[in-house]
């Protein structure tokens, strides 16, 4: 099918499956590996578009299901799409709405035709079909559109997993047929199959035949064991086309990002940075700070030394302790910091790949975050060992 993107790999790690690339989209270039902040309803909670752009963000997410409900397709068509509507001049990726099958399952009825939702706003029914998802995403104008897939929880077992996998393939065909703007919007396929390696392999073989501009690993980050999570990710990156971008959906913890880059993933998204900010939690290279704790009441340091976000340049931990979870500006400032942290982490990862020192970066990252090797997550140790990085016995060239 037609493609409105260009994918240029500029460096490959000599040890792992990591790579650095430039993804050129209609609204500008994106440096990969990339973390994409999530603005579900047309905004990152508590952050303005100018502030997001000022952090160096090149691409963010919107959600088709929510924008289809409010403001609705007619208004999006009238104003010229979501870029104009929300004042965002860089790239957008839209989730098709399929994930709401899991997150809003009590509101959903799934059939071959599509998914019927009950609006959380007014109780009205909305039928989201592959065709309607494509129509909505064409109206939104996202640079990358995701196919509507049949999403089941990663904890689901039995025939339902295979049913969802085959239905996702059939729905991809319907999405391709319904997509009206392939010259300006890119449709990505989503690999399903649960935790079953045979189903994942079968799904990849079928999806690759459709030759979409990019591919996503779906159906993970739903509470499955991390040892199973990384094995699915690694299997998928081994089998998916390496000449196209690979996106792992819903991944946002720092250690998950670093490990999955090593396993060959290029793109990530998650609500975690802004969601955890609402609880007063700030992300740093040495771990999460719960700024609600009284120990910060007279701590006049910034959230993180060396961070150049406005929260760190202008405010102290003591000030944030006073206002977090009490004043909206507290959430605002921590959201800015957390988003800045995630974007900076990915820039550092990318630079280390380009300079061929990614394994050394991994060692330092884990040492900073966990301090003691005994605290390293076993799943991460196993995952990295599979791509020739031994966190426990390997020589640290720092």
**Residues marked as catalytic:** 95, 269
Annotated binding site for substrate: 95-99, 149, 192, 219
What is the distance between the alpha carbons of residues 186 and 24, in angstroms, rounded to a whole number? 11
**Residue 157, token pair as written in the block:** 């077992």
Annotated binding site: 95-99, 149, 192, 219, 307, 309, 312, 337
Annotated binding site for Zn(2+): 307, 309, 312, 337
What is the distance between the alpha carbons of residues 227 and 166, in angstroms, rounded to a whole number? 25
Tell me the β-bridge partners of 20: 11
The DSSP bridge pattern shows strands 246-248 and 267-270 to be parallel
CA-angle at 275, arms to 269 and 281, nearest 5°: 115
């Amino acid at each position: 099918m037609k493609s409105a993107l260009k994918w240029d790999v500029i460096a490959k790690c000599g040890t792992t499956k990591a790579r650095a690339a430039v993804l050129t989209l209609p609204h500008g270039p994106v440096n990969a590996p990339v973390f994409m902040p999530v603005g579900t309803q047309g905004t990152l909670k508590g952050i303005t578009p100018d502030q997001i752009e000022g952090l160096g963000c090149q691409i963010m997410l919107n959600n088709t299901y929510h924008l289809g409900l409010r403001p609705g397709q007619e208004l999006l068509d009238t104003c010229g799409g979501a870029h104009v509507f929300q004042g965002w001049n860089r790239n957008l990726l839209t989730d098709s709405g399929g994930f709401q099958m899991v997150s809003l399952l009590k509101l959903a009825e799934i059939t071959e035709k599509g998914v019927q939702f009950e609006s959380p706003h007014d109780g009205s029914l909305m039928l989201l079909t592959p065709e309607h998802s494509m129509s909505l995403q064409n109206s939104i104008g996202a640079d990358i559109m995701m196919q509507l897939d049949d999403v089941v929880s990663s904890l689901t077992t039995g025939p339902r997993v295979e049913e969802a996998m085959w239905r996702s393939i059939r729905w991809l065909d319907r999405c391709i047929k319904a997509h009206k703007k392939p010259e300006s919007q890119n449709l990505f396929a989503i690999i399903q199959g649960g935790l079953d390696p045979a189903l994942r392999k079968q799904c990849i073989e079928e999806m690759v035949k459709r030759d979409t501009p990019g591919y996503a690993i779906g159906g993970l980050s739903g509470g499955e064991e991390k040892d199973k999570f990384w094995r699915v990710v690694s299997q998928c990156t081994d089998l998916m086309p390496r000449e196209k971008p690979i996106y792992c959906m819903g991944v946002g913890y720092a250690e998950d990002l670093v490990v999955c880059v090593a396993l060959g993933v290029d793109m990530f998204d998650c609500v975690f940075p802004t969601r955890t900010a609402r609880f007063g939690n700030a992300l740093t290279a040495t771990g999460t700070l719960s700024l609600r704790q009284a120990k910060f009441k007279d701590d006049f340091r910034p959230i993180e030394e060396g961070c150049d976000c406005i929260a760190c340049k202008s405010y102290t931990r003591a000030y944030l302790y006073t206002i977090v979870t009490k004043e909206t500006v507290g959430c605002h400032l921590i959201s800015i910091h957390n988003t800045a942290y995630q974007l900076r982490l990915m820039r550092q990862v990318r630079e280390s790949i380009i300079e061929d020192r990614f394994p050394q970066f991994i060692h330092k990252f884990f040492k900073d975050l966990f301090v003691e090797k005994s605290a390293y997550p076993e799943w991460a140790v196993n995952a990295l060992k599979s791509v020739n990085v031994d966190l426990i016995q390997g020589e640290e060239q720092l």
